[in-house]
Amino acid sequence: MSVDASVERRTEPENRNGDGNGVVAPSSTHRLRLNPNTDHEPDNYEDLQLEFSPLLFSSLEQYLPPFMLNARRDVKVQYMRDILLRYSNEAERNRVQKQREYRQKIMSRYQPLHRELYAMNAEKFFVPSFLEAIKNNTEEGFRSIISESSPGVYTFEMLQPCFCEMLMTEVENFEKWVYDTKFRIMRPNTMNKYGVVLDDFGLETMLDKLMDSFIRPISRVFFPDFGGSTLDSHHGFVVEYGMDRDLDLGFHVDDSEVTLNVCLGQQFSGGELFFRGIRCDKHVNTEARAEEILDYYHVPGHAVLHCGRHRHGARATTSGHRMNLLLWCRSAVFRELKKYQKDFSSWCAVCQHEKKERQRVAVATTKLELLKRDGNPAP
């Protein structure tokens, strides 16, 4: 597909299984702070049965008004739940309920092949250099293992070969179960016809831990303008490319704030990722600049990290079979604040150029007026 074609938005497919339940209308007096209480250590909500992700509550807690920060956990839950219900319409709540029922149905029937995958085991999953950088948790430590291949595209070695192999065989085992039982599953997104959603068959908790403890610390440093410090939910999946799978992937942006893309294997040729710069919605179909053009060649175990607004695609896999792990990391706080944002010049190259041009014109106009006022002829 030509990279000059219109950019698509790759999103999750709508889940239409099951029924939803009604909820009580929240109080309109509950509010969050505009800026987070960065010194506050939020509670852990993973042991509670909640309509929303436990990580979302932990993330939102830093935005609570001061009088709520030291309240009992159940009081904070109710306060934040009221806010979430106010901004989450009934259709969205029904979608979440249907998704929960769909996943419970799968997990009650599917027998995992590698149970050790379903709980985070960092020493077995990640290479030592990545673990050391996460442990140190400093910008200097992250930059020591990460290369910025192009503005906003970060690459680094991440996964051990044994983890890649286990995850690929687990996916194959799940796909065999789907085929044998004729169970109808949801595909990862609106653009990939092959692949599976890892969250759907039990890996959600492990991937939550991956985002919260390993990706969010890095995103806090490299993606501050995209909610990198407030990532609170994810969509985790594996995509498959080959002559009998998806062949390529068109030019698009992701439904994420930050995207992690790791090649798992296997033997393949082709399939390069191509990047063409970060754009806001208004300028998503504008031309790329020379410094924004990058073709990235996959290496098993190596990760690519970029913001969801970074336009990209995948070239055709010309032989073999390739699997990649994708983690779309999202921030509810960032998405809410973005509704009121009008200036994207901090990250959209076209907005930045337009802002500089407006400033140049304003300076030139002011200079001309001053010259006229002083009786000097215009240059």
Q: What is the mean pLDDT of the chain?
A: 88
> For residue 94, what pLDDT is reported?
82
User: For residue 36, what pLDDT is reported?
Assistant: 82
Q: What span, in angstroms and rounded, lies between the C-alpha atoms of 96 and 169?
A: 29
Confidence of residue 250 (pLDDT cuts 50, 70, 90): confident
pLDDT exceeds 80 at position 344: yes
122 compared with 5, residue with greater pLDDT: 122
- Give the whole-angstrom CA distance, residue 178 versus residue 184: 7
26 has a pLDDT exceeding 70: no
Q: Which residue has the higher pLDDT, 116 or 249?
A: 116
Whole-prediction pTM: 0.80
DSSP category for residue 309: T
Q: Are 257 and 334 in contact (CB under 8 A)?
A: yes
Could you read off the pLDDT of 233-242 as tens digits, one per residue? 999 999 999 9
Burial 26-40 (b: 16+ CB within 10 A, else e): beeebebeeebbeee
pLDDT digits (tens, 9 = 90+) for 29-70: 677 887 788 889 999 998 888 878 788 888 889 889 999 999
Structure confidence by residue, pLDDT tens digits, 63-87: 899 999 999 999 999 999 888 887 7
